[in-house]
Amino acid sequence: MKSDRRTFLATTAAMAAIGGSAGAQDGRPPVRQPRATDGDERFEPDWESRLTLTVGTKNGDLVGHDDRVLQAAVDYVARMGGGTVKVLPGKYTLRNAVWLPSKIRLQGSGPESVITRIPSETVEFADDSDWYDQEITLKQRGSFKVGDGVALLAKNPHDGSQTVIKRTLVARSGNRFKLNDGLRKNLWVSGKPTCSSLFPLLTSEHTSDVVIENITLDGNRKNCTNFNGNYGGCIFLQDCNRYTMKKVETRNYDGDGISFQICHDVVVEDCYSHNNSNLGVHPGSGSQRPLIRNCRLDRNNLGLFWCWGVKFGLAEGNRIDGNTSYGISIGHCDTDNVMRKNEISNSGKVGILFRDDHRGLDFWANRNVVENNRIINSGAEDGVAIDITGKTKDVRISGNEIREERKAMQRTGIRIGADVGKLTLSENQISGVRTQIQDLRTA
């Protein structure tokens, strides 16, 4: 083990700024010389060094090539109060997700540090498991091992919806496996339950102040089945705060590249998310103040997907190219966000889509700003660069360059749906399409 003289995490400059200004706005004296005080998580001295632990496939403080060595490293560093796990060059093949604790930095060696996963396998249940059970019985053992991460999928026997439960196998007798936690949902054979070796590569729940940087995550897509982005991805976070992902490559996952649900102040910067079957970056339900900046989101089904109730976010300076459906999609109470200075090109259907989410009183993507973007070659013969649907209102679209470099065909620059509310369009340059602006409100 060795020390790292770089300041640990500084858990972002934003937190330091908050600490430095404390007292200036509410009358309390500012904290000028912080000390380490038991239980005080807001103020921390700017320590010269924290623990750094190296992990390698051939050498390092810990040596291995799977999830166990990575998990051991991050858990050890977290137990010491935080620090850095440096992943040395090599290929690390996971049988389970690496669960990230709070206050760590996971730092790779760029494209030389590759975290990937085993091929997925699916086996049917042989017996019912009730909601209070902590075990399952499979028709056959398959290649499952104790320690594996699994997804238990079934049709809910009560309402017909899909049940998804993520667990770890912790003990085995024959085809019976004990789980790390109880089910809390019924998995009856009538609902055709299955056990699949599906899991995120990096994941966490209810943690904060983490940096993931300079590392490559490969989802082994050609050998795995799809895992919904509300549960998995190369990176999947649930109920976390203040995560920073920088210079991370997420690729080839049969699902999302980066997904975070009800996570606040997440930064995704200088990342490359590509060739994933679903979403490149997925700011998930309820996430507040996400920042997606200077990323490349290429050849996914959809580049950037603002999910549900994502607010006060910024997507800036990203290159979003060759996504099968949409470059950017926004809707369902995603309000007060800004998308600017992005280049969105070669989208399969639409460059930027404002979705029609009509299930509630006012579910649309209101009060968003789309400015100074370049939107090039959107959709097929009837493609649309910016498509605003539903009762979306109070949106400003200004200073964008919309360009079609192929034949004009039936293509449209900006299409405004019949029920769209107040909308501000200004200084947009539109060329190469058959219809520059189609306003169905006046049709």
Q: Are 10 and 16 in contact (CB under 8 A)?
A: yes
Among residues 349, 370, 256, 261, the alpha carbon closest in space to that of 304 is found at 256
Selecting from 3.40.50, 1.10.3470, 2.60.40, 2.40.30, what CATH number does the domain 122-196 have?
2.40.30
| Per-residue confidence in pLDDT tens, the chain, 443 aa | 444 444 444 444 444 433 344 444 689 999 989 999 988 878 888 888 889 999 999 999 999 999 999 999 999 999 999 999 999 999 999 999 999 999 999 999 999 999 999 999 999 999 999 999 999 999 999 999 999 999 999 998 888 899 999 999 999 999 999 999 999 999 999 999 999 999 999 999 999 999 999 999 999 999 999 999 999 999 999 999 999 999 999 999 999 999 999 999 999 999 999 999 999 999 999 999 999 999 999 999 999 999 999 999 999 999 999 999 999 999 999 999 999 999 999 999 999 999 998 787 889 999 999 999 999 999 999 999 999 999 999 999 999 999 999 999 999 999 999 999 999 999 999 999 999 999 999 86
Q: Given its phi and psi angles, is residue 307 left (phi above 0), alpha (psi -120 to 50 degrees) or beta?
A: alpha
Question: In the chain, what are the domain boundaries?
Answer: 122-196, 200-442
pTM of the complete model = 0.92
Of the candidates 148, 142, 215, 218, the residue with the CA atom closest to the CA atom of residue 179: 148
- Answer yes or no: are the C-beta atoms of 194 and 154 closer than 8 Å: yes
Q: Tell me if the domain spanning 200-442 has CATH number 3.90.1200.10.
A: no
Distance in angstroms (rounded) separating the CA atoms of residues 198 and 22: 45
Residue from 202, 207, 148, 158 nearest 180 by CA: 148
Report the candidate in 304, 267, 299, 302 with the shortest Cα–Cα distance to residue 282: 304
Kind of pairing, strands 2-4 and 50-56?
antiparallel
